Structure 1
Amino acid sequence: MHAWPASEVPALTGQGRDLRIHDTATGGLVTLDPGPVARIYVCGITPYDATHMGHAATYNAFDLVQRVWLDTKRQVHYVQNVTDVDDPLLERAVRDGIDWVGLAEKETALFREDMTALRMLPPKQYIGAVEAIPGIVPLVERLRDVGAAYELEGDVYFSVESDPNFGQVSHLDAAAMRLLSAERGGDPDRAGKKNPLDPMLWMAAREGEPSWDGGSLGRGRPGWHIECVAIALEYLGMGFDVQGGGSDLVFPHHEMGASHAQALTGEFPMAKAYVHAGMVALDGEKMSKSKGNLVFVSALRRDGVDPAAIRLALLAHHYRDNWEWTDQVLADAVARLGRWRAAVSRPDGPSADALVEELREALTNDLDAPAALAAVDRWAVLQAEQGGTDEGAPGVVSRAVDALLGVAL
């Protein structure tokens, strides 16, 4: 599966700084010090309704992570999956009377278009669950063979008790885990499981549903968590720098994925930091496909909204915050974009050297994008009220805003 084209990232003078970011597993800020190649895995979409503002906010956060690393002159190895076969996708296809493969392809193509428009840097590997199945099957077989998995009526489940570090990502108690498991795709009440929290690794073929050859597992399809584990281990290996996604993935997805990988390799942890973006609401409720309260990037673009304004609307909120999308949020972003573009359109202006360092300081401090926007606002006000004599300043600002915030002025 192919990703989307990369926009050019301007190189800035000076040196970027190492990123300090909130790690869910430890509950505090950690300073990341990757090697020459920083490794990041971000969980992708289930392509049956893309791309809403919740998606966009999440991928914007991890785009900033990449840009901070690039500013330190590192390379970035970014991997993202697409869950192109799963219950919600199949259910939507049945509801709408369309082919599930066609639905997945259409929504994935739309997602690519939106990511391109928003200038999100693409992953090096963009892997669908279906194409990952040949690599998933041997992992499930290994887990079964070492006693970390078991069969139940043809399905294969992972035993959470096989990983002594289970629970070290979310730090939730058993009751909270069971509740979230039931809400987020698990089946804690299924009879015969060793532990109600045990997640499915391989679902035996069901009548009327797609299935694939699973070798000794029989025909079926993979569970949700093992999909990401197989892709991450193949392309990044254990101990990569950042596992990312929305905060709704902390449990069960990231917790279970970590345990799968740790049981497979005997190593801990799967990732050096678990980083999670907040949720975006509309009319007081979290945007979700099940509720249908979605604002789509593609719809805004069709209405003539500049993608740079959409990106500024996302950047106005700290990535870990839960916030609400409103018409005023977008209007503020459109106005800000206009002020910034007017400021950099002049032939000279106030010195921007200090601004570049302010941007770096803000973003390396747990991706504080609102502080970065405020710094550019101050420069734009100074430009409007006083001007300046530095002929290179507008260009410096344009390049810095592009390189570090992904906004083209």
Structure 2
Amino acid sequence: MSVSVCDSGHLMPVDEAIATLLAQAPPPPATQVISLEQALGRVVAEELFSPLDLPGFDNSAMDGYALRAEDVPAEGGYLMLAGRVAAGQHSTVSVQAGQAVRIFTGAPLPPGADTVIPQERCRLYGQRVWCPPVRLGEHVRKQGEELRRGQTLITVGKRLRAQDIGLLASAGIPRLKVYRPLRVCLLSSGNELREPGEPLVPGQIYNSNRYVLGALLRGWGVDVHDYGVMADELAASRDALTLASSECDLLLTSAGVSVGEEDHLKQAIEELGRVDFWRLAIQPGKPLAFGNVAGKPWIGLPGNPSAALITALVVVRPFLLRAQGVERVLSVPATVPAAFEWLKPNKRRQYLRARLSPGEDGHLRAVLHPQQSSAMLTAACWADGLVIIEREQQVLKDEPVPFVSFAELM
């Protein structure tokens, strides 16, 4: 049992909070072997090596004619056709001096040939083909030029994308070892919350955080266990947390960690485990907490929808990815010119909803949405990503600002 260490006026810097979280991330879950078709978004648990050269043989990068470069005069000249070879075929023809072989993309280079000329650059006259000047090795994919047998294909901790799966398929790997998905318990807090489709009475609102956070978690490869809404009562919060901690690897809640008299979640956490910090130097999203419940990690997000979204993207995402075994978890912002002025220094790092738009010179600039409220999601729906304004910073128009896209974060 522990009392929060950040209940005073001190605000923990965002980078320090992320570093603290990563240092306390649990080891990744147990491993399992899955088929390649199931691997999208999964995290690799063993280093994979190529069992063969890629490409496995010299082959043509174009539809055209395979030949010996030394046979084509500097001004171009005629060669005799000696056969053809298509993809999937083994050439039975060797290219001799003064000969060319009709070849198609992906087909193995015939013995003796060292160069391919695209068909659109040649002219065919019966059994003769006129070829323009060539460079040795042109349009030939050399055996092993992409990867050599035994070279690393994928490293441990890589979260697989479509292109990674394609590379594994190219190497003929049908199954691989990955970490099982992290089981994350998602709970909402608030007596005022109702589900979409239910009628509202005065004072009630729809529960958007449940859907925002659930969608983010699934996009990050997490197995979401949705425990619904906890009543704003100490006993109800304690019971829900006890059950969730027995069934999941990690707990994520929204609302209930502020200083209001009806925010009982924080007290329930302290009774069941530990609260390590709960006030960050971030806007939106200051009331964010971290600790554990019965030994299971817990993160408490603020209740305002945009605050919950942004703190999840900035702070929770790296922690969840690391807990799944991912090595590279921190996003790297791009730098773009500001199409705005920001003359309001703040004691917290600000994440402003923005989109990239071409200026008069055609270069992309960051444009801010006029509404940056922590309670509204409209700006986030309009935006491409987030502009980062550091603490006590002012920004003048055309000054460079960090920008991280939602595509990278989600």
- TM-score by shorter chain over 0.5: no
- Specify which structure has the higher proportion of strand: 2
Shorter-chain TM-score range: under 0.3
Greater RCO (CA < 8 Å, at least 6 residues apart): 1
- Specify which structure has the higher proportion of helix: 1
Q: Give the structure-2-normalised TM-score.
A: 0.26
